[in-house]
Amino acid sequence: MSRVLLTGASGFVGRWTLIALAEAGHDVHAVSHRPGHKVVFGGTGAEQIKITWHEADLLAGAEVLERVEPELLVHLAWYAEHGKFWRSEENLRWAGASLELLRAFARAGGRRAVFAGSCAEYEWSRERYPEDAPTRPATLYGAAKHGLHTIAAAFAEQEGFQLAWGRLFFLYGPDEAPGRFVSSLIDHLLRGEPAETTAGTQVRDFLHAADAGRAFAALAESEVCGPVNVASGEGVVLRDIAERIARSIGAPELLRIGARPMPEGDPPSLVADVAQLREEVGWRPAIELGAGIEETIDWWRHFSPPSM
């Protein structure tokens, strides 16, 4: 088993990656920028596990990596404030900090690094996206991720360590930040408030955050290098998800389909080809969408943030 440094360990995906790596027997060193290092798994049934926590601001330097000297690096930390991350200049800071982290990893003699990429790196011009689909990001966020991958891949080859790049598509699950598609719908409907959406004709590929975390752990343990889509591989129409949530909560009359305009440049379909994830990494999702949505609704009923 390997010594692993995991960044973003208290995040939406990171907490599940942490569990999977620790349960596999790795010596997990988890990085959080928040004091206390307590990860809460409210309503999920997950047990607290033994790990070594490090409080660190990665934007201020990579000293934590130099202290730990890991064999494996799983880097999930990034700026992700809803509604702002697509255009924020914080993306530039995180690209620079991530390269510094990778340089420190090479100096420490690291063997394999796994970074979180995004479907925003692709040129949004088709219905399904294999890893060799054209990359032409439409946002600063996507460009920062793609640019980082280009430099990191060349650096890894030059320095002689492995690099895998997990391109995340769309996520949902308990403890998701308020304001995102699934969490926003559930929050509004449970409060008895109208939930407005676009026409909802867009097709998206959703993966439960717990499955995404387990996928990153599996990718870290594999020998697969290069870009790998981290997704379910199944497309679902946004309107269908919204109607499923409204029916489950018992408030279909509060759903306002078409009340919002379609965002400019919003692609009609973003669905991953996951052949590489399934055949080479050997991983498949365990949580069916319907069951995952029911679990998420239950979490919001019992553990949602208090009203402001």
Of 109, 141, 142, 118, nearest in space to 5 by CA? 109
Say if 308 falls within a structural domain: no
Task: Please count the structural domains in the chain.
Answer: 2
Domain hosting 259: range is 172-205+234-303
214-247 pLDDT tens trace: 999 999 999 999 999 999 999 999 999 999 999 9
Say if 92 falls within a structural domain: yes
Residue type, 122: Y
- The verdict on 222 and 263 lying in the same domain is no
- The verdict on 166 and 123 lying in the same domain is yes
CATH number, domain of 85, equals 3.40.50.720
- The verdict on 13 and 153 lying in the same domain is yes
Q: How confident is the model at residue 49 (pLDDT cuts 50, 70, 90)?
A: low
What DSSP state is assigned to residue 44? T
Say if 195 falls within a structural domain: yes
- The verdict on 239 and 105 lying in the same domain is no
Alpha helices in 37-89 (DSSP H): 63-68
Whole-number pLDDT of residue 48: 52
Instruction: Measure Cα distances from 140 to 50, 132, 137, 152, 237 in Å.
Output: 37, 21, 8, 18, 26
Token pair in block for residue 10: 């208290």
* Over residues 105-128, mean pLDDT: 97
CATH number, domain of 265, equals 3.90.25.10
Output the average pLDDT for the chain.
93
Of 21, 10, 41, nearest in space to 174 by CA? 41
Token pair in block for residue 83: 């509604």
- The verdict on 282 and 241 lying in the same domain is yes
- The verdict on 262 and 196 lying in the same domain is yes
Using DSSP's 3-state secondary structure scheme, residue 50 falls into: coil
145-202 pLDDT tens trace: 999 999 999 999 999 999 999 999 999 999 999 899 999 999 999 999 999 999 999 9
- The verdict on 45 and 166 lying in the same domain is yes
